[in-house]
Amino acid sequence: MSETGNGRKNWTRVVAAVGLVFLAVAGGIVLANANKVINKTEKKDEETPLISIGFSQVGAESEWRTGNSISIKTTFSQKRGYDLIFKDAQQQQEQQIKAIRGFIQQDVNYIVLAPVVETGWDTVLKEAKKAKIPVIIADRQVKVKDDSLYTTWVGADFYQEGQKACSWMEQYAERNKKKTLNIVHIMGTEGATAQIGRTKALEEATKKNGWNILEQQTGAFTQAKSHEVMEEYLKKYKDIDMVYCENDSEALGAINAIEQAGKKVGTDGIQIISFDATREGLAEVQNGKIAVDVECNPDFGKKIEKIIKQLEYKRDVNKEYYIGDKIYTQNKSISTIEIEKAKWSVTVVTDKIVKERVY
């Protein structure tokens, strides 16, 4: 072979070698770019922003409220994709208004408000609407001139809860051949939705059945205040048949005051009507000290989360969502509650029910 032929062969080898190098480099670049895309995707997943939620809680006035707070904190944790800013208002509306304005400044994705009272929210909710932050009302309701200021409400039908309790009272009076009932009323925080609904039901039933409400005072949904109120009642009235308490904390305060005064609670004494069905409340139902306890379920977290997910996907939501409730008694001497042809079965409290109650 001539030198020319060898030269061409050598040149061909050089070109081939360069080509292989080029392919290797190109392949490396492609692989590197691919890795960058993968890494970028993985990084993006890791850095997916949390949904920020500002929650203004009324306070911690009862075991029910504690259970409600636990439900919210458990549901809206960082592990589940949320950044929860939790503010306890300690029963003060001005603190809740301050908290909402703070949420607006922090530009949260959603505001959840458990209002201490129904009125006085128009101005601050207008500010939230202007900031385009959806507001979800929880538990108690709000009364505003423009209901577009909030997105939806989640809670219990407090008026119906009161009707259920009064239905039990009607049947009790009939079974015991009592033409009337002498009732002392320990109200919740005045102006709160639960107080308004439960009070309205009692007052309507009293008018309908000819009962006597001897006196009405607020116990502010607390055990200590209700104890004081019940002490006053016992000094004034000697013929009390029933104490209509608007939550279990009030019922516990009333029971303590009655027993300290040397009087009986339950079958052979003063009957206690209560709401919420907390663990302590249910234990007193089982003990026969609370005659009937109408449940008000505090587990709002999952329902609110479902609403938020609907809003995230730009889906319509209802204006109201009701949480279901049960009716608890010591026995089934009164087994069914009926209101306008609707019926509910009464649940007898057992050890298992009390132990399983988390609030």
Q: Which phi and psi (to 5°) does residue 157 adopt?
A: -90, 90
Instruction: Report the length, in residues, of the chain.
Output: 359
Domain(s) labelled CATH 3.40.50.2300 in the chain stretch across: 51-156+299-322, 158-296+326-356
**Is the pLDDT score of 246 beyond 80?**
yes
Cα 252 from Cα 43, distance rounded (Å): 54
Cα 97 from Cα 113, distance rounded (Å): 10
CATH class of 158-296+326-356: alpha beta
Give the model's pLDDT for residue 46: 53
CA end-to-end span of the chain, whole Å? 98
**Fold of the domain spanning 51-156+299-322:** Rossmann fold (3.40.50)
pLDDT band at 2 (very low <50, low <70, confident <90, very high): very low
Cα 128 from Cα 37, distance rounded (Å): 39
**Is the pLDDT score of 23 beyond 70?**
no
Amino acid at 281: G
Mean pLDDT of 251-280: 96
CB distance 189 to 195 below 8 Å: yes
Cα 289 from Cα 296, distance rounded (Å): 19
CB distance 255 to 272 below 8 Å: yes
CB distance 100 to 54 below 8 Å: yes
Amino acid at 161: E
Q: What is the CA radius of gyration of the chain?
A: 32
Quick one: CA dihedral 216, 255, 177, 201, positive or negative? positive
Amino acid at 350: T
> pLDDT tens digit string along 306-338?
999 999 999 999 999 999 889 999 999 999 999
**Is the pLDDT score of 44 beyond 90?**
no
**Is the pLDDT score of 11 beyond 90?**
no
**Is the pLDDT score of 226 beyond 90?**
yes
Q: Which residues contact 194 (CB under 8 A, 6 or more apart)?
A: 139, 140, 156, 158, 188, 221, 246, 247, 275, 296
